[in-house]
Chains A and B, each alone.
Chain A
Amino acid sequence: MRSILSILMENEPGSLSRIVGLFSQRAFNIESLTVAPTNDDSLSRMTITTIGDDKVLEQIVKQVNKLIDVIKIIDITDRKHIERELLLVKVSAMNDKTRTEVKRITDIFRGNIVDIGKQVYTVQLTGKAEKLNAFIDALQHETEIIEAARSGCVGMSRGDKALRI
Chain B
Amino acid sequence: MTTQFFSGAEMVVKSLSALNVKYIFGYPGGSVLDIYDAIFQQDEIEHILVRHEQAATHMADGYARATGKVGVVLATSGPGATNCVTGIATAYMDSIPMVVLAGQVATSLIGNDAFQETDIVGCTRPIVKHSFSCRSLADIPDAISKAFYLASTGRPGPVVVELPKDILIPQNTGPFSIDTDINMRSYNPTVKGHPKQITKAAQTIASAKKLIVYSGGGIVLSDASILLTTLVETLKAPITNTLMGLGGISGTHKQFVGMLGMHGSLEANKCMANADVILALGARFDDRVTNNVEKFCPNATIIHVDIDPTSISKTINAHIPVVGLVDVVMQQLLDELSDINFSPDEEALRDWWQQINQWRNIKSFSYEQELNEKIKPQRVVEALYKITEGDAYVCSDVGQHQMFAAQHYPFAKPRQWINSGGAGTMGFGLPAAMGVKLAFPDKHVICITGDGSIQMNIQELSTCSQYKLPVVIVTLNNRSLGMVRQWQDMVYGGRHSSSYMESLPDFVKIAEAYGHVGIQIDSLNELDEKLTQAFNIKDRLVFVDVMVDEKEHVYPMHIRTGAIDEMWLKKGVKA
Contacts and interface: CB of A to CB of B under 8 A. Distances in A.
A55 B318 CA distance: 12
Contacts of A21: 125-126
A117 B286 CA distance: 61
Contact of B308 (A17, A18, A22, A66): A66
B129 A68 contact: yes
Given A14-B133, A59-B314, A62-B309, A68 B187 contact: yes
Contact of A17 (B122, B130, B314): B122
B146 to A, nearest CB: 9
B150 A68 contact: yes
Interface residues of A, number: 21
Task: Kindly state the interface size class of chain B when it binds its partner.
Answer: 10 to 19
Given A13-B133, A66-B309, A71 B186 contact: yes
B184 to A, nearest CB: 7
Contacts of A14: 121, 125, 131, 133
A65 B312 CA distance: 14
Name the residue in A55, A66, A69, A71 with the highest tally of chain B Cβ atoms < 10 Å from its Cβ: A66
Interface in A2-49: 9-10, 13-14, 17-18, 21-22, 25
B313 interface: yes
A145 B184 CA distance: 48
Nearest to A72: B186
A58 interface: yes
A162 interface: no
Contacts, number: 37
A63 B129 contact: no
Nearest to B130: A68
Contacts of B185: 71, 165
Please provide the 5 A-B residue pairs with the shortest distance between their CB atoms, ordered closest to farther.
A68-B130, A62-B310, A71-B186, A25-B126, A62-B309
Nearest to A20: B125
A123 to B, nearest CB: 38
Given A13-B133, A21-B125, A68 B313 contact: no
Contact of B186 (A22, A55, A58, A68): A68
Interface string B438-451: 00000000000000
A70 interface: yes
A10 B184 CA distance: 10
Chain B residues touching A, majority SS: mixed
Chain A residues touching B, majority SS: helix
A58 B121 contact: no
A2 to B, nearest CB: 22
Given A68-B150, A71-B186, A63 B125 contact: no
B159 to A, nearest CB: 9
Contacts of A62: 309-310
Contacts of B314: 59
A55 B126 contact: no
Interface of A: 9-10, 13-14, 17-18, 21-22, 25, 55, 58-59, 62-63, 65-66, 68-71, 165
Given A14-B131, A59-B314, A65 B126 contact: no
A21 B125 CA distance: 8
Nearest to A15: B186
B310 A68 contact: no
B310 A69 contact: no
Given A14-B121, A14-B133, A21-B126, A68 B308 contact: no
Contacts of A71: 185-186
Interface string B483-520: 00000000000000000000000000000000000000
Contacts of A55: 313
A48 to B, nearest CB: 17
Contacts of A66: 308-310
A26 B164 CA distance: 30
Contacts of B313: 55, 58
A97 B126 CA distance: 55
B310 A59 contact: yes
A157 B219 CA distance: 41
B309 A70 contact: no
Contacts of A10: 186
A68 B309 contact: no
Contacts of B129: 68
B186 A9 contact: yes
10 contacts: A14-B121, A14-B125, A14-B133, A17-B122, A22-B126, A59-B310, A62-B309, A66-B309, A69-B130, A70-B186
Contacts of A25: 126
Interface in B279-322: 308-310, 313-314
Name the residue in A9, A62, A63 with the highest tally of chain B Cβ atoms < 10 Å from its Cβ: A62
Contacts of A18: 125
A63 B126 contact: no
A89 B260 CA distance: 60
Nearest to B317: A55
B128 to A, nearest CB: 10
Nearest to A42: B185
A58 to B, nearest CB: 7
Contacts of A59: 310, 314
Nearest to A18: B125
Nearest to A21: B125
A17 B121 CA distance: 10
B309 A69 contact: no
A25 B92 CA distance: 14
Nearest to A10: B186
Given A14-B125, A66-B309, 20 more contacts: A10-B186, A13-B133, A14-B121, A17-B122, A21-B126, A22-B126, A25-B126, A62-B309, A62-B310, A65-B309, A68-B129, A68-B130, A68-B150, A68-B184, A68-B187, A69-B130, A69-B186, A70-B186, A71-B186, A165-B185
Nearest to B127: A25
A18 B186 CA distance: 14
A10 B186 CA distance: 8
Interface in B114-147: 121-122, 125-126, 129-131, 133
A10 B131 CA distance: 14
B119 to A, nearest CB: 10
Contacts of B130: 68-69
Contacts of A13: 133
Nearest to B309: A62
